[in-house]
Amino acid sequence: MNEFEPLIGTWHGEGETPDEPRIKISEEAKIERLGEFVVFRTTGEPAELPDSIAIIGGAPAGEPQPMRYFDSRGVKRMFMMALADSTWTIWRAPDEDWNGPDGPGFNQRFIGEISADGQTIEGRWERGMGAAGDQWEVDFPLTYVRK
Protein backbone atom coordinates (compact mmCIF):
# COMPACT_ATOMS: atom_id res chain seq x y z
CA MET A 1 0.00 0.00 0.00
CA ASN A 2 3.04 2.27 -0.03
CA GLU A 3 2.18 3.19 -3.62
CA PHE A 4 -0.54 5.52 -2.25
CA GLU A 5 1.88 7.49 -0.06
CA PRO A 6 1.75 10.57 -2.39
CA LEU A 7 -2.00 10.83 -1.68
CA ILE A 8 -1.79 10.67 2.11
CA GLY A 9 -2.78 14.00 3.66
CA THR A 10 -5.51 16.61 3.73
CA TRP A 11 -6.73 18.18 0.48
CA HIS A 12 -9.14 20.90 -0.64
CA GLY A 13 -10.98 20.07 -3.87
CA GLU A 14 -12.87 22.38 -6.23
CA GLY A 15 -14.73 21.80 -9.45
CA GLU A 16 -17.85 22.68 -11.40
CA THR A 17 -20.41 20.60 -13.23
CA PRO A 18 -20.44 21.20 -17.00
CA ASP A 19 -24.22 20.95 -17.38
CA GLU A 20 -26.61 23.87 -16.85
CA PRO A 21 -27.30 24.99 -14.28
CA ARG A 22 -23.62 24.81 -13.34
CA ILE A 23 -22.96 23.77 -9.77
CA LYS A 24 -19.74 24.72 -8.01
CA ILE A 25 -18.23 21.89 -6.01
CA SER A 26 -16.06 22.41 -2.93
CA GLU A 27 -14.87 19.53 -0.78
CA GLU A 28 -12.41 18.69 1.93
CA ALA A 29 -10.72 15.33 1.54
CA LYS A 30 -8.60 13.45 4.04
CA ILE A 31 -6.62 10.41 2.97
CA GLU A 32 -4.96 8.47 5.77
CA ARG A 33 -3.57 5.09 6.69
CA LEU A 34 -5.43 2.60 8.86
CA GLY A 35 -2.95 -0.24 9.30
CA GLU A 36 -2.79 -2.08 5.99
CA PHE A 37 -5.66 -0.02 4.56
CA VAL A 38 -6.16 3.54 3.34
CA VAL A 39 -9.22 5.58 4.37
CA PHE A 40 -10.50 8.34 2.03
CA ARG A 41 -13.08 10.72 3.60
CA THR A 42 -14.77 13.69 1.94
CA THR A 43 -17.15 16.40 3.08
CA GLY A 44 -18.44 18.93 0.62
CA GLU A 45 -20.71 21.68 -0.59
CA PRO A 46 -23.31 22.17 -1.95
CA ALA A 47 -25.62 20.03 0.14
CA GLU A 48 -26.35 17.85 -2.92
CA LEU A 49 -22.73 16.70 -2.84
CA PRO A 50 -22.69 13.71 -0.49
CA ASP A 51 -20.17 13.24 2.29
CA SER A 52 -18.36 9.95 1.77
CA ILE A 53 -15.92 7.44 3.14
CA ALA A 54 -13.99 4.76 1.27
CA ILE A 55 -11.83 1.93 2.57
CA ILE A 56 -9.05 0.96 0.16
CA GLY A 57 -6.98 -2.22 0.26
CA GLY A 58 -7.08 -5.97 0.55
CA ALA A 59 -5.40 -7.03 -2.70
CA PRO A 60 -1.76 -8.11 -2.96
CA ALA A 61 0.78 -5.25 -3.02
CA GLY A 62 1.43 -3.83 -6.48
CA GLU A 63 -2.04 -4.72 -7.79
CA PRO A 64 -5.02 -2.37 -8.15
CA GLN A 65 -6.74 -2.18 -4.77
CA PRO A 66 -10.46 -2.59 -4.03
CA MET A 67 -12.10 0.65 -2.90
CA ARG A 68 -15.34 0.19 -0.97
CA TYR A 69 -17.26 3.49 -1.12
CA PHE A 70 -20.16 4.62 1.09
CA ASP A 71 -21.89 8.01 1.15
CA SER A 72 -24.45 10.05 3.07
CA ARG A 73 -27.19 9.22 0.53
CA GLY A 74 -26.92 5.54 1.45
CA VAL A 75 -25.11 4.74 -1.80
CA LYS A 76 -22.45 2.04 -1.75
CA ARG A 77 -20.17 1.26 -4.66
CA MET A 78 -17.21 -0.97 -5.37
CA PHE A 79 -14.35 0.69 -7.20
CA MET A 80 -10.76 -0.25 -7.93
CA MET A 81 -7.93 2.21 -7.30
CA ALA A 82 -4.35 2.46 -8.55
CA LEU A 83 -1.52 4.97 -8.56
CA ALA A 84 1.09 4.55 -11.29
CA ASP A 85 3.82 7.16 -11.47
CA SER A 86 1.84 10.41 -11.17
CA THR A 87 -1.50 9.09 -12.47
CA TRP A 88 -4.20 8.29 -9.90
CA THR A 89 -7.10 6.23 -11.26
CA ILE A 90 -10.34 5.02 -9.71
CA TRP A 91 -12.82 2.95 -11.71
CA ARG A 92 -15.96 0.92 -11.13
CA ALA A 93 -15.08 -2.67 -10.35
CA PRO A 94 -15.97 -4.91 -13.30
CA ASP A 95 -19.04 -7.10 -12.90
CA GLU A 96 -19.70 -5.82 -9.40
CA ASP A 97 -23.24 -6.27 -8.16
CA TRP A 98 -22.94 -4.44 -4.88
CA ASN A 99 -24.79 -1.26 -5.76
CA GLY A 100 -28.43 -1.86 -6.50
CA PRO A 101 -29.91 0.37 -9.25
CA ASP A 102 -26.61 2.09 -10.08
CA GLY A 103 -24.69 -1.18 -10.24
CA PRO A 104 -23.39 -2.93 -13.35
CA GLY A 105 -23.85 -0.78 -16.44
CA PHE A 106 -23.34 2.48 -14.52
CA ASN A 107 -19.72 3.16 -15.40
CA GLN A 108 -17.64 5.82 -13.66
CA ARG A 109 -13.96 6.58 -13.40
CA PHE A 110 -11.64 9.23 -11.98
CA ILE A 111 -8.33 10.16 -13.56
CA GLY A 112 -6.01 12.55 -11.73
CA GLU A 113 -2.49 13.79 -12.41
CA ILE A 114 -0.34 14.61 -9.40
CA SER A 115 1.94 17.61 -9.89
CA ALA A 116 5.72 17.14 -9.74
CA ASP A 117 5.84 18.86 -6.33
CA GLY A 118 2.97 16.70 -4.98
CA GLN A 119 0.89 19.73 -3.99
CA THR A 120 -1.93 19.55 -6.56
CA ILE A 121 -3.97 16.93 -8.37
CA GLU A 122 -5.72 17.90 -11.61
CA GLY A 123 -8.50 15.39 -12.05
CA ARG A 124 -11.86 14.64 -13.55
CA TRP A 125 -14.71 12.24 -12.92
CA GLU A 126 -16.02 10.66 -16.12
CA ARG A 127 -19.17 8.68 -16.85
CA GLY A 128 -19.52 5.92 -19.39
CA MET A 129 -22.26 6.57 -21.92
CA GLY A 130 -23.75 4.52 -24.74
CA ALA A 131 -25.24 1.03 -24.61
CA ALA A 132 -21.98 -0.53 -23.43
CA GLY A 133 -21.03 2.36 -21.14
CA ASP A 134 -17.67 2.68 -22.87
CA GLN A 135 -18.07 6.14 -24.46
CA TRP A 136 -16.52 8.41 -21.85
CA GLU A 137 -17.54 11.99 -21.16
CA VAL A 138 -16.46 14.34 -18.39
CA ASP A 139 -18.92 14.33 -15.50
CA PHE A 140 -17.02 17.11 -13.70
CA PRO A 141 -13.42 18.28 -13.26
CA LEU A 142 -11.98 18.31 -9.75
CA THR A 143 -8.72 19.96 -8.68
CA TYR A 144 -7.22 19.09 -5.31
CA VAL A 145 -4.70 21.30 -3.47
CA ARG A 146 -2.78 19.92 -0.51
CA LYS A 147 -3.57 21.74 2.76
Please tell me the total count of domains within the chain. 1
The CATH number of whichever domain residue 82 belongs to comes to 2.40.128.20
Question: What pTM was estimated for this model as a whole?
Answer: 0.91
Q: Which residue has the higher pLDDT, 106 or 101?
A: 106
User: 116 is in which domain, residue-wise?
Assistant: 2-146
For 3-51, the pLDDT digits (tens) are 999 999 999 999 998 888 999 999 999 999 999 999 999 999 887 789 9
Q: Is pLDDT of 147 > 70?
A: yes
Q: Give me the amino acid identity at 104.
A: P
